[in-house]
Structure formats: C-alpha cells, structure tokens
Chains A and B, each alone.
Chain A
Amino acid sequence: MSGFFGFDTALPERGAQGGAQQFQGFQSNHVDDAFALGGNGGAGEEEDLAVYTWGEGGMGGGGLMEGNDDMNDETFGADLGEISNNFQFSSQPINNAPTQKYGQSTGTGKIASTQSRYKPKPVADPFAFSEDDFYSSRPSTKKTTSTKAPSRPKPSTAQSGSTDHLWNKPAVSSPAWGTAPSSMTKPTPPPSAPYPSQSSNQAPPAPGHIKSLEEIEAEMAQMAMPFTSAAPPSQQQVLSLEEIERQMMEQMEPPRQGTPQQPVPPREATPTQVPGLAGSGYASQQASLDSMFPELGKGALSGGNQSTPGVLPGQLEGQNQQPQPTQQGQQVPRPSPEELARMEQLHKRITSKIESMSKYNNLMGSSDKDFITRIQLSQLATADPYTSDFYAQVFSALKRSRIIAESGQNENDQQTVVQVGAGLGLGVGGPVGNRFGKMGQNTMTKLSTQVKKLVENRAQHQKVTNTAALQGALGRVTRGNAAAPRPVLAIPTSNKPENRPASQLNHQTGVHRAALTKKQVMFALEELYDAILELEQMRRDAPPPTAMEEIEIWHAKCQAKVDIIWRRLMVMEPLDISNPHPFISLVNPVKGQKLFPRLLRHLPHTQSITLLSLLIATYTQLDVVSRAPPPPVADSSLLTKADRLDRAKRENETDNFLQFIIPGVDMIINRCGLGLVAGMLAISAQRSEVWKVASTRPGVALYTALLSKAQSIIRSPVPDPMNPQQNQSVDPAELEQWSKTFTYFLHVLLPHLPELFPSSVAQKAAFGPGAYLLGGDSISEKDGLEMERREAEVWGFVAVLAVNAAEEDQTNLVGALREKILHTVQSARHPTISPQRAELKLRNVNMFLNGLGLDASMIE
C-alpha cells in the first residue's frame, strides 16, 4: 500500500488535515524514493518489487531507508505488513481510504504505476476502480476542497462500482473532501445522479453562491426535464422523507431539481448509502429520525432546497433560505419560528449525533453482534428471576400497590417478572412494556425464546458435566477443562445431598466437640440465609387455592425445606455437645439474631418449643449473657479505644438480641401452657445461676416474659385464640408445679435482687472519683434517662415477681428491695434531678409497688 502514503503534502488545502497524515505522506514519499533508487538501481518502477512489502520495509530495505523508517511503527502501527487479502472493508479504519486516494492521485505516475504491481493485486483490487475514478475527479476536488472531512467511509467493494460512477462522474460538483461531515453521510437517495450534465458543465459555485429563483427556473427550463411529479413544491411538503425517497428510487428521476448547483451535494458511497443497502444502518436511523420530526422534514423541504432533504437545516438556513423567504411564508402554515428553531436545533443535534456515531456503522459483523447478544443474554438469564431481582421486585410490588391504592384502579397488572417459560425468566422488574420500550413485543418474544434455548442448552450441558464431576470424587480437584469447562451461565442445580457430619456424629452419645469456629458459624449462617430466602420465595409462589394436588406438592416442598432449615439450625444436637452449643453459636452474631424471627415464622409449634427450651437451657452460653456489656463508667475517657469498641459491640449485640430474639421468644412463650412455662423456668433454674442470668438485660426480658405469661394463665385462663385446644381451666398439677418452681426460683434470686438493677451494678463497679460522680447523679441527662429506662426493665421484672409471689414471699421481696425503693424515691424527690428523670424513677418504683397494692406516694 505504498501509494497510500504518497500524497502531496504541499497542497495548500490540506493544511487542515492534521499533522499525522502529513507526516505519513512525507515519510512515505521518501520511502518510495528510496525504493526507486536503491532496491533496483533506480530503474525499478516496473520491476517486481514485491519483496519490499511495507510491513517489513524497515528491515528489508536495509541501510537505505534507515533514516526514515524509525517512526513507521509509530505511524502505521506494527501490523502493517500483515494486511491480508481478505480484510473486511467495512471494519477497516476509515482513515485508510482517503489517504490511499491521496497517494494515488498525488504520486508521480511512475510510482503510481509501480504501485499497482507492487503489492499483491487482490489487496489493491477493492480500490482499483475508485483509483481510476479518483483521477478523473481529482481536479475538481481540488477546486472545492477547503476542509477535509474528519473521516470518510470507504466505498463498499461490492456495490461502489456502479455508485462510484454515479457519484464520481458528476463529482465535479461533489468534492470528496469538501463536504461538511454532516452532509457526506446523509442518506440522501441518489436523485442527482441522472443530472451529471448540468452540474459538470459548470464550475461548481462557491459555497456562498446562491442562485436566484429565476436562475434556477431558467435552468430547469433548459434542461427540459419533465417534471415527473408535476406538483409544485408546496405539495411536496406533505410527503415524508421516506415517501420522497421511495419515489426517487422508483423513478430514478427526481421529482424536482430545485438547485442543481446546490453546494452540498457531495455524497460518497458509504456502505449505508449504496442503494442496495438502503434501509440498513444509517438510512434507517435517519428514517426513524425523520419520522420523529416529520414537520421538520417538511419545513426543511419547504424552506430550502428540496432536492437535498437530508441537508442540515442549519445549512439550509445559511445557504438557501434567505433568497426564498416569500415562498416559504406563503406555503406552509408553520409552527412559530421559535418552535421551529427549537425543533431544528434538536433535529440538528440528533443528526450530528447519529453522524458522529455512524462512522462506526457496520463495524461489527453479524457474528460479533450475536456474540455480544449472547453475553448480554447470559447475564440477563436467571433460573429464578424473582430472587435474583428480589429487592427490585419487592420495591416495585410495594410501589405498585401504593399506586393502586392511591388511584383506586383495578389490579390487573400483577405480573412482576418477565416470565420466560417455567422457572426461567429475565431478571427484570417492572412491567414488560416499559422495560423494553421501543423494542416491542416481537423482539421481546424473540429474546425470550433465545434465552430459553440458551438456558436449556446450559441445563443440558450441566447434566452431562455433573456426571463428569464424579470423577473428581477420588480427590482430584478439577478446574475447568475442555471437557467440562467452567460454566459461564450457571443454573443452580441443587440436588446435592444435605449431609451434615455433625448430626451424624451426634448419633453416638456423649460426644463432645469443640465449639464451632467463627468461620463455621458464618458459613452455616449463610447457608441458613440461603435456605430461608428460598423458603420465603416458595411460600410466595403458592399455587391458587383451587388446585388441590398442586397445593399438596407445594406443601411437601415447603415442609422439606423447613426440615432442611431445622437440620441446619442444629437444635437437635445434644445439649452438651459443645460450649457454646452450635445453635447458640448461630444466634451469637448479630447476623444470626436477625435471622431468628424469620426462622420462627416457618417452624411448626413443636419445633419452636424445642428451640426455646434449648435456648433457655443454654442461655448462659449466649454471648449477650456470658459477656454482657459491663456497667457504664462515669468517664469514658478512662477506657482504651479497644475497650470502647468492645463495649460498643457488646451493647450492640445486646440491643439486637432484645430487638430480634426476645420478641420471638415472647411469641413462643405466649403459645405455651402453664406446664411448659413452669418447665422452662425449671430448666433455667437448674442449668444456670439464675441471678447471673437475671442481671443481664436478655435474662430479665426472658424471665419477665415467662413469669408474666404464667401469671396471665393463672389469673385469667381464657383460651388463647391461637391455641384453641388449650385447656380452659388450669390444670391443678401444672399449677402446683409452677408454684414450686417459682418459689425455688424466687428464693435463689432473692439475695441478689438489689444487684440486678443497673444503677446498683454501676455504682458497685465504679471506683475512685467515678463512684462519687455516679452517686451524685451527675452523669449526663441522656445517659441518666437511658439508665432509668434500663432500670424500668428490672422494675418490671420484680413487679412480675411480686405478682407471682405468695404473700409471705411478697414481704420478703419488699424487704429485699426496701433500700432500693427508698433510694429511688428519695432521688426522685431530690431537687437537682430533672423532672423527666424523676417521673421515670417514680414510675419505675410504682410499677413494682402497685403490683403489691402500694404506691410511692405512701413513702415518707
């Protein structure tokens, strides 16, 4: 491709071309000379020079070219020599085309003719005819060229033969480079082709030159061209661009030839503009653009030169509109000028956008497109669109229900997922139509079938590879290989058996294991979350209530899932298998605590009772109990940073425990009968040091729940609506069991009662100046209120104790708490205390005293 570079850099018009190309030309000119002189003794223009191909020019040329070849790689890229015969033109860098033409045109005849032999013919072939054409058109080109188009699509091999003749012969007036970038890619149909004579007769007018209407008319008369569509221009305006185009194509005689000298005719045989390709790529883009702005098209037609419908309105304004204002004004009732200007502006913007993109037209072959589509589809495809798009789905469901609620419309649009076959879908939220916009239903279905096929293929393939995976059972780790490549599109196949070594171990008795490691806990939690999400999804997919057998299947499936979850919870592990018990390990992290209420919802009653018993039996193993947050200190600056973080973490865990687990516990307890409640209290009293548990907030909460439930059963044995089978009257045996258990519980607890209060604990823990500070109630108001709130929990607990206690025990209770009561009431009456806190304090005390039929006001 030597001629490629041989263009004359001295051309003044080329100044604007940019340094790179000039450099190119410069370089290669010299190199050509070098070839001519050196390689074959200077006579070689007709010799076979094929050995000196450009790619290896730097090396092959030997010393002769040293000086000039240094930059070749930089200039041309290293792969110049690899140009093969079958490169695809549409995907070639566009810049190549113009430069080659330059080279051919500006090089000396010698070089040019050399060149035609010089490289493999097939490479040159695609350009051969254009080369010839080029020569013929070159002079005129020079005349009009003022700027160079930044990029110029090259002629397509297949069709430019005809079109080039069409275009290049009259191209006297269609300078290859003289066009504005916009006009060159215009999909203007080839209407001007049949009029070479008139335009080639005259030197092309300067761009600024505009013919008057009279001149044009005169010209038309000369031409004696029959107006095939005799309608005056005004009637043309109703035609849309496409219609005009079609007309033109059919007749190959333009309906009108307003201004043949129109300075913007040049068009080049870009692939998209070749008539055979009309309707592809750019043309269709333009068509859709014009259909968007039909009136604009009309406006342009009426306002300006009608033979160039695709010309930018701006150009029209500049060049053509001025001489014809009257025509314009008479003909169309147009929208207001501002409106039009705005539309034109928009049109212009869109057009230029399309143009700037159009240089990439046909860059990708259909296989490329297929490839990309496959990638996109594989990312869209999912076996379970609902869960993979969960948040979007829930959000859109909420939003839609809100909209429906607001507008009171019917709920016919219930579909949340684009369903593609059973269990498969595109993971998208929102209604189908909106999501795919203009793509339309047709495309959508096509897409769907494609996805379906893709997914099916994948599933089938996986079936095969799954058996292959057994090969690895002997211990070889199989990464992806040719036989079983790592799947790109992974359809989860969850048929692996749920085997838990731990639960198998448990069949033996007396096994003691190490506690779960943190990693194991986290892993188990993730599995649980997965299972829960699946189960929740399953519940959401309930079949319609009419389909009986489907419902049964669905129930069975749900039940199986619940069983899996139950096994994963490891509740059935022996109580002493490890410390902490695996289940306790699971609810120790905040993540596990958050899971708890979601789990409970799915567990049947008996299982939740089992779970609660386990929880109570191993309550002391809970982090929130065994490592309860230490009492607050008066001055947190005494703490190290790590200490502070640790405290914050423990406080956070406790808060979360109270927020997530205790409500669940309450719920289960509320479904229990008195016997069960008594049993649970007994378990707790046996297995743990009650006062230690009760000195933590979770412990207080648990006992309060147990005791108050018991009291409510004893006092008002109304049947629980949740549990209609529960006996109306309290079983005397149960009652007796309860009072025994409770008495034991109370007696264990009684000596430690005052220590349960956070304020007491804090005071006890404080030392040095902190003790005075705490005693003096000088902790900040916020902390103080928080303290009162926590005190309230304990006061509530002792109040339930009081309510449950027999009469002599009540006396003991008051005796044990006398100090605390007096202190609290006094500090509530202290003048320095804030009224808010005083009220809280009094309310706390009254919570207890009222249970006994007393009141704080009775205390002096």
Chain B
Amino acid sequence: MDDATSSGISEPLDLVKLSLGERVFIKLRGDRTITGVLHAYDAHMNVVLSQVEETIHIVDVTEDGNPLPPAVDRRNLEMLFVRGDGVILISPTQQ
C-alpha cells in the first residue's frame, strides 16, 4: 500500500495536496505562525486558509537595547490568503 501511496507523489507539493481540507500549521517569516484549514495552495505556496489562528511572537527591546520577555499576540481570522513568499513551512497539525 505504501508503494501505491508514493506512486502518485512526484513532487513536494503533492504532499501539501494531502492536507487539503485539513488543519495545517504554517510557519511564516516575521515570527508568525498560523494554523487553519487549508483550502487551496499553488506552486508559490500561496495558500488560502479558513478558521485561522495567527500567532505573532514579539520580542520588544527597551531603549537601552535590552530585550523584554517575549510576548505572544494572537488573532483569529475567518478566511485568510497567505502570500507564498512568507511561508517557511507547512505541516499537518498533530492528532
């Protein structure tokens, strides 16, 4: 069965295809991560997600250059288009 599975996978993006309609985790540039249900993607890794939770990791720096403890900002979005040039990784979520 594993052979049958891998026979149709010829390029990395075919693996992303398997996650269509599923919740995926996406790491983005700018210290952002996103989880959401993957609806569409293309060769540029542009993706469309729904039920998105975006997490932004912020490290503020005081005026004399000392970093403050990292903060996390979250927001929820119903539907989101993510431009592919910011995508670092896409992975299916656990469970």
Chain A contact residues, CB within 8 Å of chain B: 499-502, 513, 516, 518-520, 522-524, 526-527, 589-591, 594, 646, 649
Instruction: List 6 contacting pairs A-B, 8 Å CB cutoff, sorted by A.
Output: A522-B19, A523-B8, A524-B5, A526-B20, A590-B21, A591-B21
- Report the bound CA distance from A523 to B18 in whole Å: 6
Cα A233 to Cα B95 with chains together (Å): 85
B5's partner among A499, A520, A589, A591 (CB-CB below 8 A) is A520
**Chain A residue nearest to B21 in the complex (CB):** A591
For residue B2, which residues in chain A have a CB less than 8 angstroms away from its CB?
520
Q: Which residue of B lies closest to A594 (CB)?
A: B21
Contact call A526/B17, Cβ cutoff below 8 A: yes
Question: Which residues from chain A contact B95 at a C-beta distance below 8 Å?
Answer: 646, 649
Shortest 10 CB-CB contacts between residues of A and residues of B: A522-B18, A591-B21, A523-B5, A520-B5, A502-B1, A526-B17, A501-B1, A501-B4, A523-B18, A520-B1
List 15 other contacts, CB 8 Å, given A520-B5, A523-B18, A590-B22: A499-B4, A513-B1, A518-B92, A520-B2, A522-B19, A523-B5, A523-B9, A526-B18, A526-B20, A527-B8, A589-B21, A590-B21, A591-B20, A591-B22, A649-B95
Asked whether A589 lies within 8 Å of B1 as measured between CB atoms, the reply is no
A523 cross-chain contacts in B, Cβ below 8 A: 5, 8-9, 18
Evaluate whether A501 and B3 lie within 8 angstroms (CB atoms) in the complex, with A522-B18, A522-B19, A591-B21 already known. yes
Find chain A residues with CB under 8 A from B4 CB.
499-502
The interface residues of chain B lying within 8 Å CB-to-CB of A594 are 21
Interface readout for B14-45 with A: 1 if CB under 8 Å, 0 if not?
Answer: 00011111110000000000000000000000
- The closest CB in chain B to the CB of A523 belongs to B5
B21 proximity list for chain A (CB < 8 A):
589-591, 594
A412 → chain B closest CB, angstroms: 35
| Residues of chain B lying within 8 A (CB to CB) of residue A524 | 5
A522→B22 contact, CB < 8 A: yes
CA distance A455 to B30 in the complex (A): 43
Mark interface residues in B45-85 (1 if CB within 8 Å of A CB, else 0): 00000000000000000000000000000000000000000
Partner of A516, one of B1, B17, B18, B22: B1
Q: Cα distance A545–B70 when bound, in Å?
A: 69
A257 to B93, CA, bound (A): 80
The answer for the CA separation of A524 and B92 in the assembled complex, in Å, is: 17
- Compute how far the CA of A836 lies from the CA of B24 in the bound complex, rounded to whole angstroms: 40
* B53 (CB) vs chain A CBs: closest residue: A645
Q: Given the complex of chains A and B, what is the CA–CA distance between A646 and B93 in angstroms?
A: 12
B22 A589 Cβ-Cβ under 8 A: yes
Cα of A126 to Cα of B84 in the assembled complex, Å:
48
Give the nearest-CB partner of B35 in chain A: A645
Complex Cα distance, B61 from A462, in Å, reads 59
Minimal Cβ-Cβ distance residue in A for B9: A523
Q: In the assembled complex, which residues on chain A have CB atoms less than 8 Å from the CB atom of B17? A: 526
- A529 closest partner in B (C-beta): B20
A519 to B16, CA, bound (A): 11
Closest beta carbon of chain B to A523's beta carbon, Å: 5
Question: Which among A501, A519, A590 is the interface contact of B18 at CB below 8 angstroms?
Answer: A519
Bound complex: CA A50 to CA B20 (Å): 66
Min CB distance B38 to A, Å, is 10
Contacts of A526 in B (CB 8 A): 8, 17-18, 20
A376 to B8, CA, bound (A): 27
CB distance from B2 to the nearest CB of A (A): 8
* CA of A522 to CA of B17, assembled, Å: 9
Give the complex CA separation of A501 and B4 in angstroms: 7
Q: How far is the CA of A590 from the CA of B23 in the complex (A)?
A: 11
- Measured between alpha carbons, how far is A523 from B14 in the docked complex, in Å? 9
Min C-beta distance of A790 to chain B, whole Å: 23
Residue of B nearest to A513 (CB): B1
Measured CB to CB, the nearest residue on chain B to A499 is B4
Q: In the complex, what residues of A have CB within 8 A of residue B1's CB?
A: 501-502, 513, 516, 520
Chain B's closest residue to A518 (CB) is B92
The complex places the Cα of A379 from the Cα of B9 at a distance, in Å, of 22
Residues in A with CB closer than 8 Å to B92 are 518
Shortest Cβ distance from residue A8 to the other chain B in the assembled complex, whole angstroms? 48
A831 CB, nearest partner CB in chain B, Å? 39
A513 to B1, CA, bound (A): 10
